[in-house]
Structure formats: structure tokens, C-alpha cells
Structure 1
Amino acid sequence: MTLSWLSIFRLGLVQLCLGALVVLMTSTLNRVMVVELALPAVLPGLLVGLHYAIQITRPNWGFRSDTRGNRTTFVILGMAVLALGAFLATLGMIWMQTAYLAGLVLSILAYALIGLGVGASGTSLLALLATATHPRRRAAAATITWLMMIFGIAVTATVVGKALDPYSPQLLLELVALVGAAAVVVTTLAVYGIERRHRSATPATLERAVPFRVGLAEIWAERRARHFTLFIFLSMTAYFMQELILEPYAGLSFGLTPGQSTALSGAQNGGVFVGMLLVGIAATGFKIGSLRVWIITGCLGSALALLTLAALGQIPQGGTLLLPATVALGLFNGMFAVAAIGSMMALAGEGRHAREGTRMGLWGASQAIAAGLGGLVGAAAVDIARHLTDDATAFGLVFTLEAGLFGIAAVMAAQIIGAGQVAPDIKRFQGDSA
């Protein structure tokens, strides 16, 4: 028995909750540290990088899902740990204003918990999706669940952005606590009972005797899995380089308030949502374009949008075009991301049997390392450039570098992703077993 469309949407709610909590940590707290607290951008860059570095454990979570089951428990516990980490991270940031060292120590602990929670919950969820979803539904399931995650990011950033004006530390702490509690409740209700009803999510007993290192080495030996891992690393480095600097750019170069810059982040993620939806409808519903074409289009479009953002800081009244340029960046980011995720889910079931979780964990770890590295490099590069030139030029140089990485990623996609690889037709699945 495979997952019905309703069950896939339920699991998508978990992705929605993950996105809602993470965006507050990577966007809102980052902006407050850099602008309101006047801390160097590399500090939140290191903290966010820590939460990504902890996610190098994703292959372990995935392998455990392949060999021992019990994914539901780790999805729920992971979300609870993430919510706790988000609350402590906000509290630590507030402490930095009066007790810097104590606040920093608490923040380090908090971001480690955030990484642990995202790794445990996210990887266990993806393993459940990959093993319990019919092979022909996997790419469509990826599209649906990631659309819901981006929807959660966009809505949370927009709503919290509006609720946060006028800004106060106490108000931010209350909002984070509210979002965290809601995320745990929704996750528990969404995932409860699904794994028990879908025995295909429980791996074969034979696989339980395979040591983790042996299982991971077997996956790395698969040529397509190895090359795809490298592509994910480079493309996601480009994807995440702007994550920690876009809101500070809006605040320092264009004078946006915390609420306005958070809303700008929400608009960007709204663009991501539309881009994902566009590819989902075109490639999955109408079979327009292969996944490779959409990945290349997304990469090149993202590069053009980044060059536009870099130019806006150099022209008078450039702030009037900041919103449409940011939405365009989100749109092309969404095209690239959903096509890459569709390829990831389609490839998860290829190769050695009963290793979907390990493959998803490997690619998730590659993405997490790239995200942490990209965010840290972007933040550090901005700090260095700001010592050498003005704010607008410093941010523009980093956006240009990111655009170049997207161009290289487009070339890699043309060589690695299969030319005929397309998302499956959702309509074909209507009569499948639910």
C-alpha cells in the first residue's frame, strides 16, 4: 500500500512547519543581529553555518530509517528539538545586548539544537516519503511537499514581518515561541498513524545487519548518486549565498525596517512558491520541458536576477525596483529548486534496493554543508568588502559572485541531469492504489 495524495499533503505539513521555523532563524534573527545590534555579519553566518554543519549527520538518520524504521518518532521529536532551539536562539540574541558572552554561548547551543532537529525530522520525513510513495509519484510528491514548505516560509515571513512592527525583543521572542508550539502540534497531527498504515516504509530485516559505513560506501560507489551529490553541493552553495545578506542589504542600502525587510524575504519566498508551482504545472501536468531544462532555466534566471540586485545599489532610486528584483530571484530559485528536488526524488529509488533514506540523507547532507558554506562565505565576503568599499558595492560584489556560481551550476546540470528526465504525469496516478 502506497501513500495516497491526502497522506502526501499531510506529510507536506511537516515541511511547512520546518520552513516556518527555519526562516525566522536564518532571515529575521540574522537581520536583527547585523542591523539592530550592529554585529558583524559573519557572526550570524557562523551560527547558521553551525546548524547546517550539524546536519552532516543526515546520512546517519537516513540509514537508520532504512534499517530500523520508527521514523514517526524522530519526525516529531526532531520538530520539538527544532522549536526549542529556535526559542533559545532568540533568547540568546536578546541576552547579547546585556550579557554578550552568555548570549553567545546560549546561541551556539541553540543553533546546534536547530541543526539536530532539522536533520532528524527532515531526513526521517524524506525517507518516509521516498519509501512509502509509489515510484511514479515521487517527483510529484517532492513538488507538493516543497511547495508547502515554501508556502510556510513565505506566510511566516510575511505575517511575522507585519506583526513585528514596531520591533521589540520581547515581541520577537513571543512570536517565535508561538510559531514553535504550533509547529510541534501540527507535525504530530500530520504524521501520526501514517507509517503504521504503510508497511512499505518499514525496511527488510536483511538490511539491518549492514553497518552504516558499508551502506554509505555502497551508495557513494554508484556513479549517478556520486555525481548528483557534487552537483547538489555546488548549486546549493550558490542558492544559499544570499540567504544571510539580502535582509541586511535591504536595511543598510535602502533603509528598510526589520518588519519591511522580513516582509521582503516573504515576498522572495512567495516568488519561490510561484516558481515551484509553475514547474509543477508545466512539467508534471502538461509535460512542458524536462527537469534538466527547468534546472538550467532556474540557474540562469537566478544569475540574471542577482546581477540586477547588485546593480540596484549603484543607481538612484534603485530601491523602487528592489521588490520586483527580489521576487524574480525567488521565482527562478523556485524553478531550479523544484526541478532539482524532482530529480532527487526520482533518483532516490534507483540503484541498490532499500537505500532511499541513505541516498536522501547523503544529498541532504551535501545540501546542508553547501547551505552553511554558502551562507558563511556570503556573510564573510560582505564583511571584508565593507571594509574596502561602500555598503552597496560590497553587497553587489557578493551577488555577482553568486551569479557566477549559478552559471557554473547550469553547465553542470547540462552534463549530469538526463536530457529526457521529466516529472511524471499526476493525472496518471489518479487511479493508482491509495
Structure 2
Amino acid sequence: MKPLSWLSIARLGLVQMALGSVVVLTTATMNRVMVVELALPAILPGLLVSLYYGTQFLRPRFGHGADQGGRRTPWIIGGIALLAAGAVGAALSVGLMERSAGAGIAAAVPSFLLIGLGIGSAGTNLLALLASRVSEGRQAPAGSLVWIMMIFGLAVTGITAGILLDPYTHSRLVAVTLGVCAVALALACIGVWGQEGVAAGPAKPRHQAAFRDVTRELWRDPRVRVFTVFVFASMLAYNLQDLILEPFAGHVFGLTVGESTQLGGMHHAGALAGMLIVLLSGTLLARWVTVPIRVWIVGGCVLSGLSLIGLAWGGARAPDWPLAGNIFTLGLANGTFAVAAIGAMMSLAREGGDGREGVRMGLFGAAQAIAFGAGSFIGTAMVDIMRWLTQADATAYGAVFTFEGFVFLIAAGLAMRLTAPGPENRNQTAMMPGE
């Protein structure tokens, strides 16, 4: 099968852009409307988003279904359609909440479940398709490209929707959501059109084994098991600081809302820079120097851990600590390791040529999504507990950042254990794909 060209990879990135465009409306815009315009408790959108995370254990099942059928395009397009239906339902439920909070919440629950199911189906099989079609050595830069496109989708949708929603009305929210979903579905169709059929031939079933048997067999593989644990540990550490970084800047450094928001932008800018570095190293600079995936992953985890420990150290020295530089460095390390880890996932997902890329990627994706959901809750809960115990903001946040830093260092240690597959170490404890 002919590997995907960069143009084809970019086209598949349109699917990731579509996912990000719809998700930003549900996690940012609708979240704000519920809390600010409707004056509902902040825990409500938090619980609704947790429903999305709660569906992510089904990712291996979505991947297995596509593995059996031999086609991923229907699962991707169907997933985007489910996501769009859920987003429109969520927008309608927000309007209903103004009339009856109970009825609106009841309508929002199935809508957010659809959002989670759609993302799980489309996201898992998009990465599985990339895993099976991206050539060896391109996994990390390919991961960078599709994630950069997702961030672009987030940014464009956020800015455009923000303009169209003023002055705010519930009908405007529904109309904007319908428009974004229509564009997302069109982008997804353009992204996957012809990507499988031309090269892969007609669809045919490839696996008839039961899902439980397949997952049990994969979990017995120590390489898959250790890599799944690594994904969970690293992504847990990645997301632990997500909801506490800006409150830390306000409580410890005394920054205003605008200043802390800009600080969050520094973190995203650093992450984007890290992704671009990995992309450039695998494309324009590849003829002069080749950096193995292991270096990006281990280096990114170590630098992330040290940056978080630096935040803990700097909190005790506020306001003299160079906070912006520290945050940018953290973002740079986060972006570098994250897209390299995605590349490693793609490489390991297609290992063996057994046609089980979907269930493998589903297993890794479930570990990542569950870690994200757990990270948001654990990070905020730890800060509340530590603030209550210590009565000192710098100490409380510092303890949590230090914990996060050590989790990243543990993840780096797991990555160091991952060794290249080969006849002599096929049954060893772990592996590093793509080297």
C-alpha cells in the first residue's frame, strides 16, 4: 500500500480540524453561557463534559468495529455526524435551560453523550487510518501537522463564533452551531474522500475474532501494556495543570484576569512552537539530521517535569520569578512530547501488520482521554485540599506542581524502557515504536 503524501496527510488533518471546531463550542462557548448568562453552577458544565470523557472507554470497540469491516471512512464520517447532532442538541438544550433548568439538563445529557461517542468514533479511526498509511519516520511530524490543524480550527472557530454571537441570543447560538457543524461535516468528507478506497481496494472483513478476545490478546503483549501505562501517566501529568495554571497566577503572582489569560496564551504558544519544531525536524531538516521519536518523548517529559518543579520553586519567590518564560517553556515541552507520543502511538498501532490498528489506537486513545478527564478533577481537588491544609497558596500550588513534575519524570522513565522491536527482543518488557 502506497504511503500517504504530505498533501494527503494534510487532508486527513481537516478531520481533526473539524473535531476541534465543534468541540470548542461545547467546552468553551456553551460552558460560559451556562455559568455566566444563565447563572448556573459551574459544576454543571463540568459534569456534562465528564459525560464525554466517560464514553471514551468505548474507543477500542470503535476501532475494533472498523478493523472487522476493513473500512474506517464510515466510522469517521459517522462519528462527525454524531458529534454534530450532539452539538446542535447541546445548543438547543442551553436555550431550554433558561425556561426550565431541569428540562434543559435532561436534554443536554444525551447530547453530550452523542458528542463523546462521535469524537471517540471519528478520532480513533482517523488516527488508525493515519497509522496504517503514514510511512515509517513520518509519524511524529504527521502527528504534529494534524494537531496544528486542530489548534487552527479551535482558534478560527473561537474568533468567528465570538463575532457572530454578539449580541448573544440562544437562537444565535443554535444558528452558529448549525453553521459550524455543517462546515465540519464538509471538511471531514473532503478529508477522507478517496483516502481509503483508491489504495486499499474494496472493503472486506479482516477479523472475526470477538472484541473481548482481541483486547485480551493485545493486553497480554507487554509492549502494548507498558505503552498504554506510559500514555496514561504522561497525559495525566499533561492535564493536571490545565485548570489550575491561571488561578495559580492570580493567587500567587497577583495577576489580573486579563494577564492570567495572556499567560494561558503563552502556554498554548509554547505548545504550538514545540509541535512546529517536531514537524520541521521530520520534514525540512530531515535530510541533515534525524531525531528519533524516543528523544522527543523523553526530552519533552523531562523538560515538562523540570518546568513544573520550576513553577513550584518560583511560586515561593513571587513576583520576581520569570513566570511567562517558565510557562512558555512548559508549553514547548508539552507540545513536543505530546505530538511525538501521537507519532509513537501510530507506529505501534500498525506494528505486526495484523489489521488491528483500530483496536490498538482505541486502547491508547482511551488511556489518553481517561487521563485527561482524571487530570482535570485531580488537579483541582488537590489544590483545594492543599490550600485548606496549608493555608498558603504558594505552598499548596507548589505541592501540586511538584507532584505533576514527578509524574512526568516517571513517564520519562517508562519511555526510557521502551526498546525497539526486533526478533531478539520481541517478547521483552516494552518497545519504542518508530526507531
TM-score, length of structure 1 as denominator length: 0.81
Q: Secondary structure at 1:254's aligned position in 2?
A: coil
Match of 2:240 in 1: 241
2-structure distance, mates of 1:310, 1:95: 44
Q: CA deviation at 1:364?
A: 0.9
Judging changes above 3 Å, is the alpha-carbon distance between structure 1 residues 124 and 180 closer, same or farther for their aligned structure 2 residues?
Answer: same
* C-alpha distance in 2 between matches for 1:262 and 1:162: 16
Distance 1:184 1:59 in 2: 23
Structure 2 residue runs without a partner (length 5+): 422-430
Per-residue deviation, residues 154-188 of structure 1 (Å, max 9, x unmatched): 5545x269749989575666655443332222112
Q: In the superposition, relative to structure 1, how do residues 88 and 116 fare at CA in structure 2: closer, same or farther (>3 Å)?
A: same
Distance 1:307 1:177, change over 3 A: farther
1:405 matches 2:404: no
Q: Does 2:32 align with 1:54? A: no
1:362 matched to 2:363: yes
Of 283, 292, 304, the match for 1:290? 292
Please name the residue that 1:213 is paired with: 212
CA distance in 1, matches of 2:53, 2:207: 28
Question: Greater CA deviation, 141-150 or 339-348?
Answer: 141-150
CA distance in 2, matches of 1:265, 1:24: 19
Indicate the residue corresponding to 1:343 in structure 2. 344
1:52-111 per-residue CA deviation (whole Å, 9 max, x = no partner) reads 220111111111111103422221221122233334445555665664433433333332
Is the 8 Å Cα contact of residues 154 and 268 (structure 1) preserved in structure 2?
Answer: no
Say which is worse superposed, 1-10 or 168-177, in terms of deviation: 168-177
Q: 1:14 deviation in Å? A: 0.6
Moved more, 333-342 or 67-76: 67-76
SS of corresponding position for 2:352: coil
Give the structure 1 partner of residue 130 of structure 2.
129
1:303 to 305, 318, 330: 305
Change (3 A) 1:221 1:11: same
Residues 235 and 405, structure 1, Cα contact 8 Å, conserved in 2 = yes
Over 3 Å counting, the alpha-carbon distance change for 1:249 and 1:105 in structure 2 is farther
CA distance in 1, matches of 2:261, 2:163: 10
What is the alpha-carbon distance in structure 2 between the residues aligned to residue 391 and residue 184 of structure 1? 45
The answer for the alignment partner of 1:414 in structure 2 is 416
- 2:231 paired with 1:232: yes
CA contact (8 A) 2:240 2:375 kept: yes
Larger Rg: 2
Contact 2:269 2:328 in 1 (8 A): yes
C-alpha contact (below 8 Å) 1:75/1:121 kept by paired residues? yes
What secondary structure does 1:287 align onto?
coil
Q: Does residue 376 of structure 2 align to residue 372 of structure 1?
A: no
The aligned runs of 1:73-92 (5 Å cut-off) are: 73-90=74-91, 92=93
Q: Does structure 2 conserve the Cα–Cα contact (< 8 Å) formed by 1:12 and 1:146? A: yes
Letter in 2 for 1:79: I
Cα distance change on mapping 1:358 and 1:422 into 2, 3 Å: closer
Aligned amino acid, residue 274 of structure 1: A
Within a 5 Å distance, the mapping from 1:23-422 to structure 2 comes to 23-27=24-28, 43-90=44-91, 92=93, 99-135=100-136, 137-157=138-158, 159=159, 163=163, 168=168, 170=170, 176-199=177-200, 202=203, 205=205, 207-246=206-245, 254-256=255-257, 265=264, 267-282=266-281, 285=286, 286-309=288-311, 324-351=325-352, 353-385=354-386, 389=391, 395-416=397-418, 418=420
Q: Alpha-carbon deviation of 1:232?
A: 0.6
Correspondence for 1:432: none
Unpaired runs of 5+ in structure 1? 425-434
Q: CA deviation at 1:348?
A: 1.7
Task: Give the paired residue count.
Answer: 418
The answer to whether the 8 A contact 1:235-1:409 is kept is: yes
- Measure, in 1, the Cα distance between the counterparts of 2:376 and 2:28: 11
SS in 1 for 2:257: coil
Q: After superposition, what is the alpha-carbon deviation per residue over 1:122-153, rounded to whole angstroms, capped at 9, x for unaligned? A: 11212222223344544443333233223333
Tell me which moved more, 28-37 or 185-194.
28-37
Higher relative contact order at CA 8 Å, sep ≥6: structure 1 or structure 2? 1
Q: Displacement, 1:217?
A: 1.7
Letter of the 1:298 counterpart: G
Q: Percent identity?
A: 46
Residues 295 and 410, structure 1, Cα contact 8 Å, conserved in 2 = yes
C-alpha distance in structure 1 between counterparts of 2:244 and 2:32, whole Å:
8
Partners of 2:122 and 2:302 in 1: how far apart? 32
**Which amino acid in 2 is paired with 1:414?**
M
Q: Secondary structure, in 3 states, of the residue corresponding to 1:77?
A: helix
Residues of 1 paired with 2:225 and 2:60: CA distance?
14
8 Å contact 1:241–1:378 — kept in the other structure? Answer: yes
Task: Read off the aligned partner of 1:275 and give its amino acid letter.
Answer: G
Deviation for aligned residue 1:116: 0.4
Q: What is the CA–CA distance in structure 2 between the aligned matches of 1:200 and 1:354, rounded to whole Å?
A: 14
* Aligned-residue RMSD, C-alpha: 3.7
TM-score normalised by the chain length of structure 2: 0.81
Q: Which residue of 2 aligns with 1:4?
A: 5
1:37 Cα offset (Å) = 7.1
* Secondary structure at the counterpart of residue 209 of structure 1: coil
* 8 Å Cα contact 1:37-1:97 kept in structure 2: yes
